[in-house]
Amino acid sequence: MENTESTCTSCSDPIRNLAKEGRPDLWDHTTAASRCFAPTPPYEVEEGLPRETRKVRIRVQELVTYEVEKEVTVNVGVTPQELAAYLSSHDEEWTDDIEEHFLDACEREVLDDHTFFADDAGYLANLAVGIEEWPESIVTWLTITCPVCGSRPTEDDTAHQNVGWFVGIACNGRRVVHPGWIGMDGTGWTDWMTMMTNDASGKASN
Which of 95, 110, 125 finishes a domain? 110
Q: What is the pLDDT of residues 79-105, one digit of tens each?
A: 989 998 998 888 888 888 787 787 777
Confidence of residue 167 (pLDDT cuts 50, 70, 90): very high
Alpha carbon 103 to chain centroid, angstroms: 29
Same domain, 64 and 81: yes
Q: How far is CA 8 from CA 35, 38, 128, in A?
A: 10, 9, 39
Same domain, 118 and 197: yes
Residue 53 placed within a domain: no
pLDDT, mean over the chain: 83
Number of domains comprising the chain: 3
Same domain, 193 and 156: yes
pLDDT given at position 97? 76
Task: Give the separation between CA 60 and CA 174, rounded to whole angstroms.
Answer: 27
Same domain, 105 and 89: yes
Q: Rounded to two decimals, what is the model's pTM?
A: 0.46
Pairwise pLDDT comparison (170 vs 22), residue with the higher score: 170
pLDDT at 205 over 50: no
Nearest to 135 by CA among 161, 166, 162, 113: 166
If you ran DSSP here, which 8-state letter would residue 127 be given? H
Backbone phi and psi for residue 203, each to the nearest 5 degrees, phi listed first? -70, -35
Same domain, 85 and 166: no
Residue 64 placed within a domain: yes
Q: How far is CA 28 from CA 14, 34, 43, in A?
A: 9, 10, 16
Cβ contact 27:15 at 8 Å: yes
The boundaries of the domain holding residue 168 are 112-205
Q: How far is CA 126 from CA 33, 73, 147, 179, 197, in A?
A: 46, 43, 20, 9, 27
pLDDT given at position 183? 86
158-179 average pLDDT score: 88
Same domain, 126 and 191: yes
Residue 150 placed within a domain: yes
Task: Give the separation between CA 135 and CA 147, rounded to whole angstroms.
Answer: 19
pLDDT at 116 over 80: no
Residue 195 placed within a domain: yes
Which of 87, 110, 133 finishes a domain? 110
Residue 54 placed within a domain: no
pLDDT at 196 over 70: no
Same domain, 155 and 198: yes
Residue 52 placed within a domain: no
pLDDT at 166 over 90: yes
Which of 86, 110, 134 finishes a domain? 110
Residue 116 placed within a domain: yes
